[in-house]
Amino acid sequence: MPLIVPLLLAVVLFCIGVYGVLARRNAITMLMSFELMLNAVNLNLVAFDAWRLDGLATGQTLAVFVITLAAAEIGLGLAIVLLLFRGHGHVDADSARDLVEVDAVQQEKGAAT
Amino acid sequence: MTTALFSVAGAVAVLASVLVVTSRRIVHAALWLVVALGAVAGCFGALHAEFVALVQILVYVGAIVVLVLFALMLTKAPMNPLPGLTTGRSPFAAVVAAVLALILGAGVVLAFGNEKVKPVTHGSATDVGTEIFKVWVLPFEVLSVLLLAALIGAIALSQRKLSERSDKLSSSEKED
Amino acid sequence: MIATAWRVTGVGFSLLVVLTAGLLYGTDPAQTSFMNSPVGDLTIGFGVRTDDLTVLLLAVVGVIATCVQVYSLGYLHQRPASYHALVTLFTAAMVTVVIADSLFLLLIGWEVMGACSYLLIGHYWERRDARSGAVKAFLMTRLADVGFLFGIFVLGVGAGTFRISELDPAQISPGVLTTGTLLLLVGVVGKSAQVPLQTWLPDAMPGPSPVSALIHAATMVAAGVFLIARLYDVFSASDTIMTVLAIVASVTMLFSALCAMAAVEVKRVLAWSTVSQLAIMFSGLSLGTADGRHAALFHLVTHAAFKGLLFLCAGVLLHQVGSAAFVVLRRYTRRGRLRKALPVTFATMTVGLAALAGVPGFAGFFSKDTVVEAAWHHARDGSVVGWIVLVSVCVTVVLTAFYCMRLWLWVFFRSPALAGALGAFEDDDPMADLEEPDTSKLRDAPWIMLAPLVLLAVASIGLGYADGVQLNWVLALVTTVLALLGALPAYSLWSRGADPRPVVLEREFGVDTAYHGLFVVPVRWFARLAVGGDQDVIGAYVRAAGRAGTLASQGFRRLQTGNVQTYLTAAVVGVVALAVVAGVISS
């Protein structure tokens, strides 16, 4: 089997993931897109492991580690999403703009009220 | 044989992924994610990484997707299709992703265009487990600490602050 | 506490200078140099020397400084610490000038004196005239000091040494010699307030009177005379310089004596007379003979005594009466109070004025006659310079006698013609009839102020005989007659109650106005131009930079939407762009 096939598949999956992260409005779907990207990485790792055959199973081990990491990540990510939901009543990443620069005038108004 | 298997699994994975990022129903997207992850597990299998494929199905499909579905439920995600599930930037995001894919694909083709993968069976649980506990013990232990940290972090994040809780309580009492 | 410490230090230091002069008297001339550092072919370093000139000047400076410091104990109650410290520093600087054997050490003392005089003139900095006078003195002497500095360079490089004792006019080419001494002369003219840089000295009078006595009579302005006496070999080697000096001195002495005749404030009269007397010293020096130098130094010493005395007397008037303007003093005088209330001041001031006017028997008479005699000898040998000096000094004797007599009579005596009126000065005071001064409380100054007066009065008489009386009786008679010629018109004018002051003299020949038009106004225009350029050209760029920054930040602020996905998009685009650039570069 040509090595290029799994690699190209990984590229396609990764870019779909990138699109999903950038384009999806719902925070949970963004997290799903992250999972897709991580999977693409895993695919790369396994493919290169099958190609190199270094006898240490480096790629597969790393893929297992990444899966573990993904589990930790999704746990934390969902906790954050739940926090966002609790604070705002929605999980819309596009309208969560608490980091926006507020004008000094508005800030003063806010301080006054 | 393996190539054909891989191609089929890969095609399914790509299709399902596209549906994940384009579906208008969030729950459907989560379910399509299951398909995509399963298909990737199939790819792993085709590459003779049986243990990784199993872990993929167990952890991803069994744990993560369930977690995601729980989160959807907790955040009261609607079941019906939503028109505005993608932002206004999505065409631009698609362009960016396409360019990225072009660059990465070109790079991969240029670098590994002529390489072949020989199908060798070395991905059983015994093989990988031996290597993990023989060679990769230290990263493994570090990873366990990281998991613990993530656990504590998740608890800390999802825990309500005491003051918040008392506020809620007092307000609910007033409502009564 | 600090003030007391500085008072003690000041008096002690002045006494130390006197003591040093006494110890050095009669010792052989000696010189030493230290901290020499070779620079190229030249050696720059410090050097000190003691010789007759040094001892003489040390004695003068020490005695005058002691008198001034003791007098100031009673006179000055405002910011005494800084005052006494500065006077002490000033004295030290003058001592440095006097003992210097290196041109650079001399320059250091010279410049420190300039700075101290600026600070001391501006001692009452609350007063506008004091501030402007201080700035004027500083700017004018500083302008002259530029010439002085370059003169040192020219002379030092031309002679190959900066040691005064090693300067040999025979080894310097005539052109360099003339240039160098001319430049030095610029500094001297500025420091000693000669024409055309004379205007700062009368305007420096708002300073405390003891400071006027110290700076503007005895030490700082005398530094110019001292410098020429010190470098007399070098200066007298160039006839051009001597002629220039003679002309400057002659013009100055006539000019300033005429100005003194029209001044209506005691200190201003004295200031102009200082300029005039300094010019007499310079004229003695400009003869280029040993006699001339001796006469000039003799006059320097006697002048230091009687002019210091006069300024201190004016200080008593200021201190006890509150003003030294004629119009104020006349109010007391017309009741006949001033003379009776201030007997010691009256007596000592009379002695001082007599010495200044050249009344026979007083010190000024003898020293002035020495100058006249030296000029006469020189002129008899057929020298034009000698004739110029002789004639101008003789005319100045007449003018000096006139203004001394005028000052004395108008300040201390009731005019018989206008016994009850304010006399000729009431035009000056718009509030002349406003209130009558309470004359009954007028007292003479405390003894700590009067003691220096008495000492200096004794010196003003006694110093005339210190050199041994070697009078040319004919010349002495001539100058006495000339002085009488000047004094008589003053008396007759006074007795008629008239004090005609020609407008041109009152305005001091319009020099200040002319300088204002020639220098101040163009400089102001340039300053305005510079300010305008700074605001409208350079400032425009600065402001534009600021506004551009503000605008840019307002623009960039819009980028910060708070939307995490936008940031992520930007990051990814950046990564892609970097990858493309990397690919382009590597391919």
* Contact flag B87-C573 (C-beta cutoff 8 Å): no
Q: Is the pLDDT of residue B175 over 50?
A: no
pLDDT at A112: 54
* B neighbour chains, 3+ CB pairs within 8 Å: A, C
Q: How far apart are the CA of C576 and the nearest CA of chain B, in angstroms?
A: 6
As a three-state string, the secondary structure of C383-410 is CHHHHHHHHHHHHHHHHHHHHHHHHHHH
Cis amide prior to C489 (ω within 30 degrees): no
Assign C439 to helix, strand or coil. Answer: helix
| Token couple for C301 | 């010493």
Q: Which residues of A touch B30 (CB under 8 A)?
A: 28, 32
Residue of B nearest to A23 (CA): B90
> C332, C442 in Cβ contact below 8 A?
yes
Is pTM beyond 0.80? Reply is no
The shortest CB-CB distance from B96 to any of C566, C572, C583 is to C572
In this predicted structure, what is the pLDDT of residue A111?
58
Residues of chain A contacting B3 with CB distance shorter than 8 Å: 1-2, 5
Quick one: average pLDDT of C366-374? 89
Q: What residues in B contact C576, CB-CB < 8 Å?
A: 96, 99-100, 103
Q: Which two tokens stand for residue C579?
A: 């990858």
In contact, C225 and C300? CB cutoff 8 Å? yes
Domains parsed from chain A with CATH numbers: 4-112 (1.10.287.3510)
Of C201, C197, C179, which Cα lies nearest the Cα of C188? C197
Any residues with CB less than 8 A from the CB of C308 and at least 6 apart, and which? C64, C67, C68, C213, C214, C217, C218, C456
In angstroms, the CA B62 to CA B38 distance is: 11
C353 in Cβ contact with C407 (< 8 Å): yes
Confidence category of residue C397, pLDDT binned at 50, 70, 90: very high
The average confidence (pLDDT) of chain C is 86
Q: Per-residue pLDDT for A107 more than 80?
A: no
Contacts of C306 (CB under 8 A, 6+ apart): C351, C352, C355, C356, C362, C363, C364, C456, C460
Distance, CA of B152 to CA of B93 (rounded, Å): 35
Residue A43, CA distances (Å) to A4, B46, C213 in order: 12, 11, 102
Nearest CA in chain C to A18: C572
Give the closest of B33, B92, B104 to A32, CB-based: B33
In this prediction, residue B11 has a pLDDT band, given cuts at 50, 70 and 90, of very high
Confirm if C221 and C192 have CB atoms less than 8 A apart: yes
Instruction: Sort out which chain C residues have CB atoms less than 8 A from B100's CB and list them.
Output: 572, 575-576
Smallest Cα distance from B109 to chain A, Å:
7
ipTM for the complex shown: 0.85
Q: Tell me if C334 sits within 8 A of C414, measured CB to CB.
A: yes
Cross-chain CB nearest to C579 (options B87, B89, B103): B103
More confident residue, C244 or C340: C244
> Number of A:C CB contacts under 8 A?
30
> What is the fold, at CATH topology level, of the domain defined by B1-81?
Four Helix Bundle (Hemerythrin (Met), subunit A) (1.20.120)
* Contact present, C149 and C107 (Cβ < 8 Å): yes
| pLDDT for res C527 | 93
Q: Name chain C contacts of A18, Cβ cutoff 8 Å.
A: 572
Asked if the C-beta of A47 comes within 8 angstroms of chain B's C-beta atoms, the answer is yes
Angle at which helices B26-46 and B2-22 cross, to 10°:
160
- For chain C, what percent of residues have pLDDT higher than 90? 29
The yes-or-no verdict on residue C34 having pLDDT over 60 is: yes
Interchain contact C565–B (C-beta under 8 A): yes
Taking the C-alpha atoms of residue A20 and residue A14, their distance in angstroms, rounded to an integer, is: 10
Give the pLDDT confidence of C286-310 residue by residue, as tens digits: 988 888 888 999 999 999 999 999 9
Angle in degrees, CA A13, A15, A20, rounded to 5? 95
Q: Which residues contact C497 (CB under 8 A, 6 or more apart)?
A: C415, C416, C417, C418, C421, C423, C424
Distance, CA of B33 to chain centre: 8
CB contact under 8 Å between B75 and A42, yes or no, is no
Average pLDDT of A108-112?
56
Close Cβ partners of C256 (under 8 Å, ≥ 6 residues apart): C198, C272, C273, C275, C276, C279
Angle (nearest 5°) at CA C183 between C177 and C186: 140
Helices (H) and strands (E) in chain C, counts: 25, 2
DSSP string across C521-562: HHHHHHHHHHHHHIIIIIHHHHHHHHHHHHHHHHHHHHH--S
Predicted local confidence at residue A27, as pLDDT: 87
pLDDT band of B146, cuts 50, 70, 90 = very high
C489-527 as b/e: b if 16+ CB within 10 A:
ebeebbeeeebeeeeeeeebeeeeeebeeeeeeeeeeee
Length, in residues, of chain C? 587
Tokens standing for residue C75? 């006179």
Q: How far apart are CA C365 and CA C361, in angstroms?
A: 7
Percentage of chain B surpassing pLDDT 70? 89
Locate the chain C residue with the closest alpha carbon to A100: C562
CB of C137 closer than 8 Å to CB of C228 = no
Beta-bridge mates of residue A2? B116
Q: What is the largest CA-CA distance in chain A?
A: 70
Distance CA B114, CA B132 (A): 31
C569 to B103: CB separation less than 8 angstroms, yes or no:
no
Cross-chain CB nearest to A23 (options B33, B48, B87)? B87
Question: For the ranges B167-171, C149-153, C174-178, which has the lowest average pLDDT?
Answer: B167-171
**Integer distance in angstroms from the first to the last C-alpha of chain B?**
69
Q: CB-CB: which of C569, C579, C583 is closest to B93?
A: C569
Instruction: Report the pLDDT value the prediction gives residue A103, as an integer from 0 to 100.
Output: 63
Tell me the angle at which helices C343-357 and C447-462 cross, rounded to the nearest 10 degrees.
30
Instruction: Write out chain A residues lying below 8 Å of C562, CB-based.
Output: 96-101
Q: Tell me if chain B has a CB within 8 Å of the CB of C583.
A: yes
**Nearest CA to C27 among C1, C66, C64, C58?**
C58
Q: Which residues pair with C30 in a beta bridge?
A: C50
Check if C382 contacts B (Cβ < 8 Å).
no
Q: List phi, psi (to 5°) of A99.
A: -85, 5
Q: Does the beta-carbon distance from C566 to B89 stay under 8 Å?
A: yes
Do C576 and B92 make contact, defined as CB atoms within 8 angstroms?
A: no
If you average pLDDT over residues A58-87, what whole number do you get?
90
B34 contact A CB<8A: no
* % of chain C at pLDDT higher than 70: 95
Confidence band (pLDDT; 50, 70, 90) for A101? Answer: low
Q: Report the length, in residues, of chain B.
A: 176
Q: Distance between CA atoms of C370 and C285, rounded to whole angstroms?
A: 12
Amino acid in position C77: H
Interchain contact, C560 vs A22, CB within 8 Å: no
The b-or-e profile of C296-323 (16+ CB within 10 A means b, else e) is bbbbbbbbbbbbbbbbbbbbbbbbbbee
B-chain CB neighbours of C586 within 8 Å are none
Instruction: Give the model's pLDDT for residue B10.
Output: 93
Distance CA C546, CA C535 (A): 14
Query: Using a CB-CB distance cutoff of 8 angstroms, which residues of chain C are in contact with residue A101?
Result: 557, 560, 562
* A109 burial level (CB within 10 Å; 0-12, 13-18, 19+): exposed
Quickly state the pLDDT bin for C420 (edges 50, 70, 90). Answer: very low
Chain A's closest residue to B65, CA to CA, is A32
| Cα three-residue angle B34-B40-B41, rounded to 5 degrees | 85
Q: Binning pLDDT at 50, 70 and 90, where does residue B169 land?
A: low
Read off the amino acid at residue C347.
A
| Residue in C closest to A23 by C-alpha | C565
Q: What is the pLDDT of residue B76?
A: 78
Query: Which residues from chain C sit within 8 angstroms of residue B101, using beta carbons?
Result: none
Chain A, 46 to 105: residues with Cβ < 8 Å from chain C are: 93-94, 96-101
Quote the CA–CA distance of B24 and B79 in Å, as a whole number.
Answer: 10
pLDDT at residue B174 tops 90: no
Taking the C-alpha atoms of residue B132 and residue A67, their distance in angstroms, rounded to an integer, is: 14
DSSP C440: G
**Which one of B6, B26, B157 has the shortest CB-CB distance to A29?**
B26
Q: DSSP for C98-164, please give it.
A: HHB-BHHHHHHHHHHHHHHHHHHHTTSTTSHHHHHHHHHHHHHHHHHHHHHHHHHHHHHHHHT--BG
Comparing C215 with C108, the larger pLDDT belongs to C108
C263: left (phi over 0), alpha (psi -120 to 50) or beta: beta
Query: Taking the mean position of all CA atoms in its chain, how far away is CA C489?
Result: 31
- Weakest-pLDDT range from B152-156, C43-47, C280-284, C464-468: C464-468
Answer whether C568 sits within 8 Å of A21, measured CB to CB. Answer: yes
Question: Looking at residues B89-106, what average pLDDT do you find?
Answer: 90
Residue with tokens 């005071």: C429
Q: Which residue of A has its CA nearest to C561?
A: A100
- Do C569 and B99 count as a contact with CB atoms less than 8 A apart? no
- Arithmetic mean of pLDDT, C490-515: 82
- A14, A15, A22: best to mutate for the C interface, most C CBs within 10 A: A22
